[in-house]
């Protein structure tokens, strides 16, 4: 078996995607090691999830730094000291600056609750309901300096049904997210998914469109 994929998981809240990755590793479905769990919020429930599984944690609060560059610099220094293959953003509510993105170029993954490039940014569920859209979804992409703009690895879509509220869309999206993140990481650990100079390859073929995830 190849060496496990070394991960840093960055969170700010509940950590349900963190839990899905932990479960996949512990059940043998993902050849990876979570080297650290970093939270921007010292009250994040995800920290409790991490400690329950004996994982190393670190809290980095932006209030402790004078500006974003200092914050990113401290985070970058810590992640480099840990030694990781990929940074996994799992509900991390801080925008990373260009310097740290460059330091981990093509090695930062993010999950976003929309079918990118539609509905970048926040409040995606409210916005699709306001627009009376018929479908919504989830995207996993590489992080670049532009917000929610990196190459898209994988997407899953679901219908918006009559009477759906924000909470309903959140629940539908979370069910997909909890399957998608471990799957994408599995592709990376198995060597099926690769990144070369910002271009994505799946089974050595150029990925010309996002992989459609069908649970």
Pairing state between β 86-89 and 57-59:
unpaired
Query: Is 112 in the active site?
Result: yes
Eight-state DSSP code of residue 204: T
d(C-alpha 215, C-alpha 63), whole Å? 40
Q: What angle do CA 47, 112, 104 make, to 5 degrees?
A: 70
From the list 112, 125, 136, 141, the catalytic residue is 112
How far apart are alpha carbons 182 and 102 in whole angstroms?
A: 24
Give me 138's structure tokens: 């989830």
Residues making up the chain, counted from first to last: 215
**Would you name the residues annotated as active-site residues?**
112
């Amino acid at each position: 078996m190849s060496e496990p994929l070394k991960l840093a998981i960055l969170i700010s809240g509940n950590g349900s995607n963190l839990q899905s990755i932990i479960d996949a590793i512990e059940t043998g479905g993902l050849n990876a090691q979570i080297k650290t769990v970093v939270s921007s919020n010292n009250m994040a429930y995800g920290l409790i999830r991490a400690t329950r599984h004996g994982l190393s944690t670190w809290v980095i609060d932006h209030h402790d730094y004078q500006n974003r560059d200092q914050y990113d610099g401290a985070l970058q220094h810590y992640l480099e000291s840990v030694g990781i293959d990929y940074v996994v953003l799992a509900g991390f509510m801080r925008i990373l600056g260009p310097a740290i993105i460059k330091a981990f170029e093509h090695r930062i993954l993010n999950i976003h609750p929309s079918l990118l490039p539609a509905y970048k940014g926040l409040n995606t569920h409210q916005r699709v309901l306001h627009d009376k859209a018929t479908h919504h979804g989830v995207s996993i992409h590489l992080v670049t300096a532009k917000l929610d703009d990196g190459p898209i690895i994988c997407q899953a879509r679901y219908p918006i049904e009559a009477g759906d509220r924000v909470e309903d869309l959140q629940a539908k999206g979370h069910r997909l997210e909890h399957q998608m993140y471990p799957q994408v990481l599995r592709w990376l650990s198995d060597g099926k998914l690769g990144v070369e100079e910002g271009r994505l390859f799946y089974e050595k073929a150029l990925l010309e469109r996002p992989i459609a995830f069908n649970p």
